[in-house]
Amino acid sequence: MADATTYEKTYTIGGDLKVNRMGFGAMRITGEGIWGPPKDREEAIRVLKRTLELGINFIDTADSYGPHVSEELIAEALYPYPKDLVIATKGGLTRTGPNVWPINADPDYLQKALEGSLKRLKLDRIDLYQLHRVDPEVPYEKTLEFLQRVQEKGLVKHIGLSEVTVDQIKKAQKYFRVVSVQNKYSVDFRKWEDELAFCQEQDMAFIPWNPINAGNVGAIEKLQQVGQRHHATAHQVALSWLLHHAPNILLIPGTSKVKHLEENYKAASIRLTDEDMKTLNGIRSVEVAG
């Protein structure tokens, strides 16, 4: 078997925010349908506290998770924050019910969303503020001008984008430095391969959401095959593949259980071999629309 492939454990966002590449996504510490409070509030608090104990120092959230619940729980569990903790949040989606996510990137709405995030997180400045979605009903330039203004005012340190194309990233670069892109991406969903490559070329973090695409039976079989060699689950292998695949990928797997958090974190210690990577790279990408 080939020697284990190695990778850097950390990444520096925007040239000054050094984080461990295994982060935490705080979407699922909310209620069912990412709506309302969690069923087990104390467990959610324990999950957040455990992230720090494990050495995780990058937490990704959004004002729309709950809505507001995720940000409130982060502050309740972790404030005052450790100096090296980077909390990234997002604005641009509204909520009208469980699993419903209308887009609104109008500057007036984003202003209220940002003010709310700052208050809930008990921060004077957001380290990484991400546009959750490009709004087809709002001129993109208007949204970009808003993000440029709030950065100039010192309300946000760095700016990222989500679910964007290379052309949309390039357009945003005319207004501010884009330091991260958060697109759906996994070993079996590689629709955004060009965007990943562009981010690597431009020294931007690439933050994949939905790191294992449910329903791809062929992918599960190969992930399990590799997992057997490492005494790991298919999910852990899928996370490990992302860390090995590109040095600018930051992981934000989410969960509402301490046990699952610890299982996800163990994926960072898996060292996939060249043979493993060849097997996983051969998984057919399922490019589902959306």
Select from 73, 65, 74 the least CA-distant residue to 101. 65
What is the spatial distance between Cα 162 and Cα 154, in angstroms, rounded to a whole number?
21
What is the spatial distance between Cα 29 and Cα 44, in angstroms, rounded to a whole number?
6
| CB contact burial 68-86 (16+ within 10 A = b; e otherwise) | bbbbbbbbebbeebeeebb
Tokens of 63: 């004002």
What is the spatial distance between Cα 55 and Cα 254, in angstroms, rounded to a whole number?
16
What is the spatial distance between Cα 211 and Cα 188, in angstroms, rounded to a whole number?
9
Is residue 65 flagged as an active site residue? Answer: yes
Which residue among the candidates 65, 129, 175, 185 is catalytic per the annotation? 65
| Separation of CA 88 from chain center | 9
Residues belonging to the active site:
65
